[in-house]
């Protein structure tokens, strides 16, 4: 196993593998990265990601590399902390004119060096809070002085009282009629608590400022921030429009606490309200990289300046990615006239070789003493600082030729991308960015006809799939920004050529065509083939999707929505789901399913509207998980249920969030969820659908017996002690003269079988007592001995009738009507066999089955394998009931499996019926009863669901 996967990033590595990004790069030069293709051949990749913006002049730029080598060879000190560090000083000095020119501030900037972007942001945060703290200190002193004065004033004049405004009287009722001591104590406590309040930070929507414990709270992407929400900063994420409204007095979203400062005025003693600097900083990225590539405008900059002035807080420009020349000027902000108080830089400033960051703070805002409090072992090292200084020199060379190259290349790329956008507006939504920091946003594929493409979008992974495609099919490296899975970010180096722009556009164009044509097979080709796509020509699958007639639009919402969790029968069924995979082999389909196992969420299918014959409508929605029956069986066998359970719980939660009130656990998911009982999701009514499955199978069995021409005389139930088997035993007991209950022979099996026998006798005896019902089945056998049994029962008051009859039969009949056995061979005595045993493989020897027997096998997986049935055409094997829908409503043809038009499986129909009934709680959940089976069968009939074709072959 790869050590990176094993010891460093197990989940990320799995994700990389799932989309073909699991390359091991061994060499980097200029615009290229190199990996070995596994057969020893070196593959060259055009890197248009540039180390997420950290490599502007190319990988291992020869001059910077030589400089690093020289510095190492000269034994340049690396670790000489706590001394005068000339390299840092020289770099800071070199930054001065640039910072002044680009920000417009005339004053010097103090520079705090770090090693990374997030560290730099954290240093900026720390500094802003220190500087706010200093202001609060002054206010605290002012408050103390004012309170002292108040005390003196009260001492001088005991009749003096506070003149409160109406609003103050409302907000501070304690002050009305307070004594002088009480008033002083109250104001003092109020002020102390206001001064203690933690700072607020303001960041923009789509912001990304790092992933450390503090900076993560300034990063808008919820996925990264949410798990750490208890750790840190109070942040308000706002739009520029919201900030504009703030300038016009809308402070609804921003708490602005005030101190109460007593003051003598002509009106008497008043409490002056002085707002504290509650906001520590306003952070912006002039061009947001990770949030989806959004650039601020000149108008935005003006709003930001006004808000900064109004709140009295520093404006921090996080130019970690956009700065250091990436956008065509040293600071991207200078292009929109942004005048930040702090500038944060990192990434490219290190010349692509060193890890360096810096926070430059204009001296007018610098908190004296901060530099004593802030340090870091690796910051200010000589080599990083000298490389960064050389990087700045390179930017300045030839009158800033590098920067103009960035602008020109950026423009050429932008124009080419915009042309592509014009040709494919149905696929590309927007082209954005500045200089060599560009983004291509794709149209949502949330409603894509091709379900695998739709699923990629559903998982927020479309951009990653496209990234894998570009890398593997075209040898081009890009990536989505951290928080925008629908965008491809393009950050090439300055070495980019027109020919490479053309290559990129060619590759993107093929990809756009594939998306337009919904050619999943083309897009995903790379995932299951060693060689790139032979023709690079996507095919048009739109006619196929149009022919399916799916995605009906309804003018009215349904009365209720129900979800049904299912999974793939086997991976080759993918070919049914997507015609573009029709030439894929079983192994390739398997490979795809395995790769995608990383994220088991599959996009829900479009709702199928079902209407009861009584009028109620239900939208039936499939919420599949990406697993096959075989994979689930293996996990069941190995008792590795947790990942599956988590995936099913997630499906239930998603269904609930989409407004489903009922959910059916289909196929193997009901077993995995222990008949629903292992599900964690509250607020959604669950069913396994087992009750109607039994009812329909039972109806089919009775019909089959009629067709056969002779009734059921002796029935055997395999797995009779189980949940389904016991209920089925009770039902079939109503028809047969002899019932053989077969158990596994595992510990306690006989006892459990006996219990079922008691229940059968009990139910049959009770039915005998009902004069309205003619006796049938086991009851008719008991009827032959009714008087003797009644007499026996009267002598056994402590036992239930069922148990007592069981005893009686044992004592007085040579062969009772209900027998128990732990030997499966007992089925050879039966003309009808019901299979409901929970075994992982088919285990019934077909030779044991009587000539012309009916077998009803509703076990999942089946107890009797399809493969042996061929040898015994005399046996009629029923696999379970298929239900005919009330108005021929049909599942999406891509997921019908063995079903035809107008058909659903009984477990699906049960879920629909519960939706039609708006049934308030779980139904087939945990232990089933005969009553449940009869009730749902009755309701299903009333809603117009009928027994359809009988399922006769394997379907799982
Ligand atoms: N701020 C911005 C704007 C960034 O783009 C990044 C990195 N993508 C960071 C901060 C964090 O930098 P680092 O990954 O070096 O911690």
| Predicted local distance difference test score (pLDDT) of residue 956 | 44
**Which ranges of 518-665 would DSSP assign to H, the alpha helix?**
520-528, 542-548, 574-577, 586-596, 629-637, 642-657
Beta carbon of 50 within 6 Å of any ligand 1 atom: no
User: Which is the closest atom of ligand 1 to the Cα of 285?
Assistant: 3
Beta carbon of 489 within 6 Å of any ligand 1 atom: no
Beta carbon of 290 within 6 Å of any ligand 1 atom: yes
| Predicted local distance difference test score (pLDDT) of residue 954 | 45
CA distance 949 to 880: 10
Instruction: Calculate the CA 100 to chain-centre distance.
Output: 45
* Cα(132) to centroid(ligand 1), Å: 24
What residues contact residue 858 under an 8 Å CB cut-off, 6+ apart? 693, 694, 697, 724, 728, 834, 835, 836, 879, 880
What residues contact residue 417 under an 8 Å CB cut-off, 6+ apart? 431, 438, 440, 490, 505, 508
* Cα(775) to centroid(ligand 1), Å: 80
* Cα(322) to centroid(ligand 1), Å: 10
For 555-587, b/e burial (b = at least 16 CB within 10 A) is eeebebbbbbbbbbbebbebbebbbbbeebeee
| Predicted local distance difference test score (pLDDT) of residue 955 | 44
Beta carbon of 321 within 6 Å of any ligand 1 atom: yes
Answer whether the bond into residue 274 is a cis peptide, omega within 30°: no
* Cα(362) to centroid(ligand 1), Å: 21
End-to-end CA distance of the chain: 33
Kindly tell me the burial class for residue 130, based on how many C-beta atoms sit within 10 Å of its own C-beta (0-12, 13-18, 19 or more).
middle
| Predicted local distance difference test score (pLDDT) of residue 930 | 94
Residue nearest to atom 1 of ligand 1 (CA): 209
Beta carbon of 285 within 6 Å of any ligand 1 atom: yes
- Nearest 5°: phi and psi at 845? -80, 120
* Cα(251) to centroid(ligand 1), Å: 30
* Cα(906) to centroid(ligand 1), Å: 54
| Predicted local distance difference test score (pLDDT) of residue 251 | 87
| Predicted local distance difference test score (pLDDT) of residue 681 | 75
> Please, how many CA atoms are within 13 Å of residue 294, restricted to the half-sphere of its CB?
16
Beta carbon of 20 within 6 Å of any ligand 1 atom: no
Domains within the chain, CATH numbers bracketed? 18-59+404-545 (3.90.1150.10), 86-380 (3.40.640.10), 549-691+883-951 (no CATH), 732-829 (no CATH)
Beta carbon of 118 within 6 Å of any ligand 1 atom: yes
- Give the 3-state DSSP-derived string for 485-516, with helices as H, strands as E and coil as C: CCEEEECCCCCCCHHHHHHHHHHHHHHHHHHH
Answer for the pair 427, 433: CB distance below 8 angstroms, yes or no.
no
Helix, strand, coil fractions of the chain, as percent rounded to 5 = 45, 20, 35
* Cα(209) to centroid(ligand 1), Å: 6
Three-state SS at 470: helix
Beta carbon of 491 within 6 Å of any ligand 1 atom: no
Three-state SS at 438: strand
Could you tell me the pTM of the whole model? 0.90
Mutate to test the pocket of ligand 1, among 55, 207, 219, 290 (most ligand atoms within 8 A of CB): 290
- Nearest 5°: phi and psi at 92? -60, -40
Q: How far is residue 41 from each of residues 22, 37, 44, 629, measured CA to CA in Å?
A: 16, 6, 10, 38
Ranges of the chain with pLDDT below 70 = 1, 949-956
> Please, how many CA atoms are within 13 Å of residue 935, restricted to the half-sphere of its CB?
12
Beta carbon of 244 within 6 Å of any ligand 1 atom: no
Q: How far is residue 367 from each of residues 104, 108, 214, 220, 323, measured CA to CA in Å?
A: 21, 14, 20, 28, 24
CA distance 354 to 386: 10
Beta carbon of 346 within 6 Å of any ligand 1 atom: yes
Tell me which residue of 459, 783, 744, 745 sits closest to 596, measured CA to CA: 459
pLDDT tens readout for residues 798-828: 889 999 999 999 999 989 999 999 999 999 9
Answer for the pair 345, 318: CB distance below 8 angstroms, yes or no.
no
H or E segment to which residue 886 belongs? none
Within 10 A of 863 (CB to CB), how many other CB atoms are there?
A: 23
Within 10 A of 212 (CB to CB), how many other CB atoms are there?
A: 18
> Please, how many CA atoms are within 13 Å of residue 717, restricted to the half-sphere of its CB?
30
Residue nearest to atom 5 of ligand 1 (CA): 321
Beta carbon of 115 within 6 Å of any ligand 1 atom: no
CA distance 637 to 629: 12
Beta carbon of 320 within 6 Å of any ligand 1 atom: yes
Beta carbon of 326 within 6 Å of any ligand 1 atom: no
CA distance 908 to 902: 13
Beta carbon of 345 within 6 Å of any ligand 1 atom: no
User: Which is the closest atom of ligand 1 to the Cα of 119?
Assistant: 16
As beta bridge partners, residue 162 has 269
User: Which is the closest atom of ligand 1 to the Cα of 212?
Assistant: 16
* Cα(118) to centroid(ligand 1), Å: 5
| Predicted local distance difference test score (pLDDT) of residue 237 | 98
Beta carbon of 286 within 6 Å of any ligand 1 atom: no
| Predicted local distance difference test score (pLDDT) of residue 167 | 93
pLDDT tens readout for residues 404-458: 999 999 999 999 999 999 999 999 999 999 999 999 999 999 999 999 999 999 9
Beta carbon of 117 within 6 Å of any ligand 1 atom: yes
- The DSSP result for 241-306, as a single string, is HHHHHHHTT--TT----EEEEEEEETTEEEEEEEE---EEEEEE-SEESTTT-EE--HHHHHHHHH
| Predicted local distance difference test score (pLDDT) of residue 951 | 56
* Cα(122) to centroid(ligand 1), Å: 11
Residue nearest to atom 14 of ligand 1 (CA): 117
Within 10 A of 476 (CB to CB), how many other CB atoms are there?
A: 23
Mutate to test the pocket of ligand 1, among 291, 320, 344 (most ligand atoms within 8 A of CB): 320
């Amino acid at each position: 196993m790869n050590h990176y996967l094993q010891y460093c990033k197990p989940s990320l590595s799995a994700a990389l593998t799932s989309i073909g990004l699991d390359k091991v790069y061994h060499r980097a030069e200029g615009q290229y990265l190199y990996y070995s293709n596994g057969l020893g051949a070196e593959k060259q990749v055009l890197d248009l990601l540039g180390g997420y913006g950290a490599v502007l002049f190319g990988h291992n730029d020869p001059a910077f590399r030589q400089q690093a080598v020289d510095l190492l060879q000269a034994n340049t000190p690396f670790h000489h902390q706590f001394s005068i560090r000339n390299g840092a000083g020289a770099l800071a000095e070199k930054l001065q004119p640039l910072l002044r020119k680009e920000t417009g501030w005339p004053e010097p900037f103090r520079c705090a060096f770090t090693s990374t972007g997030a560290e730099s942001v954290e240093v900026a945060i720390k500094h802003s809070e220190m500087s706010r703290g200093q202001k609060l200190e002054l206010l605290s002193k002012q408050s103390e002085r004012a309170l002292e004065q108040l005390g003196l004033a009260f001492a001088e004049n005991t009749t003096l009282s506070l003149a409160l405004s109406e609003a103050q009287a409302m907000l501070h009722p304690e002050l009305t009629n307070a004594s002088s001591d009480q008033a002083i104590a109250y104001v003092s406590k109020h002020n102390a608590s206001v001064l203690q309040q933690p700072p607020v930070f303001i960041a923009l929507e789509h912001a990304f400022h790092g992933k450390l414990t503090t900076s993560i709270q300034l990063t808008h992407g919820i996925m990264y921030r949410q798990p750490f929400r208890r750790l840190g900063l109070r942040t308000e994420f706002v739009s520029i429009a919201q900030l504009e409204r703030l300038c016009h007095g809308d402070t609804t979203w921003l708490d602005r606490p005030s101190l109460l400062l007593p003051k003598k005025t002509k009106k008497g003693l008043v409490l002056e309200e002085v707002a504290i600097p509650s906001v520590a900083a306003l952070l912006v990225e002039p061009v947001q990289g990770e949030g989806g590539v959004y650039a601020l405008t000149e108008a935005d900059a003006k709003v930001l300046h006004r808000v900064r002035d109004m709140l009295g807080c520093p404006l921090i420009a996080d130019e970690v990615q956009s700065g250091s020349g990436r956008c065509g000027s040293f600071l991207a902000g200078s292009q929109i006239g942004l005048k930040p108080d702090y500038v944060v830089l990192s990434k490219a400033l290190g010349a692509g070789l060193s890890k360096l960051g810096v926070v430059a703070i204009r001296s007018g805002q610098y908190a004296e003493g901060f530099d004593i409090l802030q340090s870091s072992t690796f910051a200010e090292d000589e080599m990083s600082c000298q490389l960064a200084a050389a990087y700045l020199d390179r930017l300045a060379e030839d009158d800033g030729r590098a920067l103009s190259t960035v602008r020109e290349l950026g423009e050429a790329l932008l124009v080419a991308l915009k042309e592509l956008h014009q040709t494919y507006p149905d696929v590309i939504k927007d082209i954005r960015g500045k200089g060599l920091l560009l983004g291509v946003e794709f149209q949502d594929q949330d409603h894509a006809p091709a379900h695998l493409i739709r699923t990629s979008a559903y998982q927020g992974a479309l951009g990653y799939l496209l990234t894998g495609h570009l890398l593997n099919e075209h040898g081009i490296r890009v990536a989505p920004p951290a928080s925008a899975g629908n965008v491809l970010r393009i950050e090439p180096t300055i070495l980019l050529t027109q020919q490479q722009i053309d290559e990129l556009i060619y590759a993107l164009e093929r990809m756009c065509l594939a998306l337009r044509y919904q050619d999943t097979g083309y897009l995903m080709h790379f995932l299951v083939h060693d060689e790139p796509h032979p023709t690079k020509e996507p095919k048009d699958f739109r006619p196929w999707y149009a022919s399916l007639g799916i995605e009906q639009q309804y003018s009215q919402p349904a009365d209720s929505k129900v979800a049904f969790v299912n999974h793939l029968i086997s991976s080759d069924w993918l070919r049914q789901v997507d015609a573009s995979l029709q030439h894929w082999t079983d192994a390739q389909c398997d490979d795809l399913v395995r790769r995608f196992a990383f994220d088991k969420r599959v996009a829900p299918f479009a709702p199928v509207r079902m209407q009861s014959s009584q009028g109620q409508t239900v939208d039936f929605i499939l919420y599949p998980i990406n697993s096959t029956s075989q994979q689930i069986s293996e996990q069941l066998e190995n008792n590795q249920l947790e990942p599956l359970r988590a995936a099913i719980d997630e499906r239930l939660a998603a269904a609930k969030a989409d407004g489903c009130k009922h959910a059916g656990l289909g196929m193997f998911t009901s077993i995995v969820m222990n008949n629903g009982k292992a599900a964690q999701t509250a607020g959604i009514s669950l069913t396994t659908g087992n009750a109607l499955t039994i009812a329909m199978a039972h109806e089919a069995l009775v019909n089959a017996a009629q067709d056969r021409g002779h009734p059921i005389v002796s029935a055997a139930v395999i797995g009779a002690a189980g949940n389904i088997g016991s209920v089925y035993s009770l039902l079939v007991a109503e028809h047969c003269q002899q019932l053989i209950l077969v158990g596994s022979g595992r510990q306690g099996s006989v006892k459990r079988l006996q219990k079922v026998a008691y229940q059968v006798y009990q139910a049959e005896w009770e039915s005998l007592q009902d004069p309205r019902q003619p006796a049938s089945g086991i009851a008719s056998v008991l009827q032959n001995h009714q008087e003797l049994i009644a007499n026996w029962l009267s002598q056994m008051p402590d036992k239930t009738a069922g148990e007592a009859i069981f005893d009686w039969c044992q004592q007085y009949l040579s062969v009772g009507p209900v027998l128990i056995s732990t030997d499966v061979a007992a089925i050879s005595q039966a003309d009808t066999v019901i299979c409901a045993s929970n075994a992982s493989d088919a285990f019934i020897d077909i030779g044991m089955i009587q000539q012309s027997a009916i077998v009803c096998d509703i076990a999942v997986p089946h107890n009797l394998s399809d493969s042996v049935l061929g040898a015994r055409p005399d046996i009629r094997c029923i696999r379970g009931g298929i239900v005919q829908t009330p108005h021929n409503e049909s599942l999406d043809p891509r997921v019908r499996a063995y079903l035809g038009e107008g058909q659903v499986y009984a477990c699906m129909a049960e879920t629909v019926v519960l939706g039609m009934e708006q049934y308030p709680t779980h139904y087939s959940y945990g232990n089933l009863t005969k009553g449940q089976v009869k009730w749902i069968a009755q309701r299903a009939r009333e809603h117009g669901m009928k027994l359809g074709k009988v399922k006769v072959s394997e379907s799982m």
